[in-house]
Structure 1
């Protein structure tokens, strides 16, 4: 079923979740841009909670990109062994560290970040948002991929880049920095796989609730 509705005032309709979540820190418990970069790479296809659990020991051993650039996979891998696809992510992170070397040289643009191994648009958007850079896209994680079509703001797709493109087409650029994370938090807390529609601040405009739940 196509839930996508093009001719709506989404900027106005989505204000309730922006009010609720604007400026809220990402669930990854990082302390600086270096830690954020590493944790974003590790969190792909894994949970933020798992990455938060392994982070203290990891960053105690490797506190900077410079320290990471001087190690090898055999030394590094035990610190990320509980992370999904840890062998691949180890090679990505060691290559990133050797490429950049210094924490203050981490690129903070979409092109600069996506040129690094293991970083796609979703990851780059997270880093840009958390470091308060101008938005070049919209965070589109698994929660956004699930929730945006339910609301009616995008067509259903498993491809995050396609969903992001649709969101960018219908939302003004001034919303880009915050709206993806707001939809993500909404998906984590309310619009879960089994949604809590009666508690939802968007149920007066949500396609899923208005058309499916009421049998229209």
Structure 2
């Protein structure tokens, strides 16, 4: 981690840039978000956005999903990575929740559901407008946070803890902001450092310009 940087101040411009930006999953309600978050694990948001409309036409709410079996779901999600496990998770999850208004909106309750880990739960809480209980650490954050110097290593849980320890709770939306930065500018190869508003404090930029 970069020493001598006041990350509380340094991260604010990035959070402000992205604070009202919706997650790239194109959901229309919390039910759709929960389903899409489960499906998107180790797959691309673009792929999930492509398959979602037909899936939700067939299963418009948690109640209809809870009555589905694997054969009914298969035609809609067979193009999703690891669809076998995800089918099972969605069936179990929908049978536990049963109706849209029963969807839990706390980290503790969300992570008890099949197919939902901390990252997914943090995304759901953010998009539902609930107070942050953790920091979103997706594959973009795993790449970008160590480049910036706000965290180190490659373990998402350790990176989340480092960011939570570094920033006060009201700035925990930094995770999603860093993710957007990774999607737009701080790509795995040829990052667009010159366009990045974080380059004054970025470790990678300092060492590579």
TM norm structure 2:
0.97
1:115-154 pair list within 5 angstroms: 115-154=112-151
The answer for the alignment partner of 1:168 in structure 2 is 164
Out of 86, 89, 106, the residue aligned to residue 92 of structure 1 is: 89
User: C-alpha distance in 2, partners of 1:6/1:132?
Assistant: 33
- Alignment of 1:190 with 2:185, yes or no, is yes
Q: How large is the RMSD of aligned CA atoms in angstroms?
A: 0.9
Cα distance in 1 for residues equivalent to 2:39 and 2:4: 38
Q: Distance in 2 between matches of 1:184 and 1:82?
A: 25
Q: Is the Cα contact below 8 Å between 1:96 and 1:117 reproduced in 2?
A: yes
Report the Cα distance in structure 2 between the residues aligned to 1:162 and 1:138, rounded to whole angstroms.
11
Is the counterpart of residue 202 in structure 1 residue 198 in structure 2?
A: yes
Given that 1:6 and 1:153 are in contact with CA atoms closer than 8 Å, whether structure 2 keeps it comes out as no
What stretches of structure 2 of length at least 5 have no aligned partner? none
Q: Distance in 2 between matches of 1:121 and 1:6?
A: 28
SS of the aligned residue for 1:140 comes to coil
1:7 Cα shift?
4.4
Q: State the number of aligned residues.
A: 208
- CA deviations on 1:146-177 (whole Å, 9 max, x unpaired) are 000000000121x211110110000111111x
Tell me if structure 2 keeps the 8 A contact 1:28–1:48. Answer: yes
Change (3 A) 1:80 1:105: same
Please give the alpha-carbon distance, in whole angstroms, between the structure 1 residues aligned to 2:160 and 2:3: 15
TM-score, reference length from structure 1: 0.94
Stretches of structure 1 lacking an aligned partner (at least 5 in a row): none
Q: Does the 8 Å CA contact 2:5/2:201 hold for their aligned counterparts? A: no
Counterpart in the other structure of 1:156: 153
Matched, 1:68 2:43: no
> 2:17 aligned with 1:20, yes or no?
yes
User: Displacement, 1:130?
Assistant: 0.2
2-structure distance, mates of 1:109, 1:167:
20
